[in-house]
């Protein structure tokens, strides 16, 4: 009886333990050359991020200038209105 168990086990196909993430990752790196990853993925994404940073920096400077101008106008209007009220009361 023990011989039959050994024979049936030897006839069974061995199941390889394969990690799919390792094989997919290595196949991905084998199929895509490094220059394509750099010029086709890394460089455009980096340039896009730098462009967005520059755009929002310019917009922030513009908004800060507008806010400072409106604060100056409101300050001047308050002074003028108080002067007008003083002249009106006298």
**In the numeric block, which tokens belong to residue 67?**
């806010």
**pTM exceeds 0.75 for this model:** no
pLDDT, tens digit, 9 for 90 and up, residues 10-52: 555 555 555 555 566 677 667 888 888 888 889 999 999 999 9
11 or 77: which leads in pLDDT: 77
pLDDT for res 85: 57
Q: How far apart are CA 75 and CA 10, in angstroms?
A: 93
pLDDT, tens digit, 9 for 90 and up, residues 54-64: 999 999 999 99
pLDDT for res 63: 95
Q: Which of 16, 15, 41 is nearest to 28 (CA)?
A: 41
């Amino acid at each position: 009886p023990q011989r039959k168990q050994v024979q049936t086990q030897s006839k069974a196909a061995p199941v390889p333990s394969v990690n799919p993430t390792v094989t997919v990752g290595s196949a991905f790196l084998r199929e895509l050359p490094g220059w394509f990853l750099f010029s086709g993925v890394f460089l455009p994404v980096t340039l896009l991020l730098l462009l967005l940073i520059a755009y929002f920096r310019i917009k922030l400077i513009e908004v800060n200038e507008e806010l400072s101008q409106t604060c100056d106008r409101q300050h001047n209007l308050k002074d003028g209105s108080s002067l007008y009220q003083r002249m009106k009361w006298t």
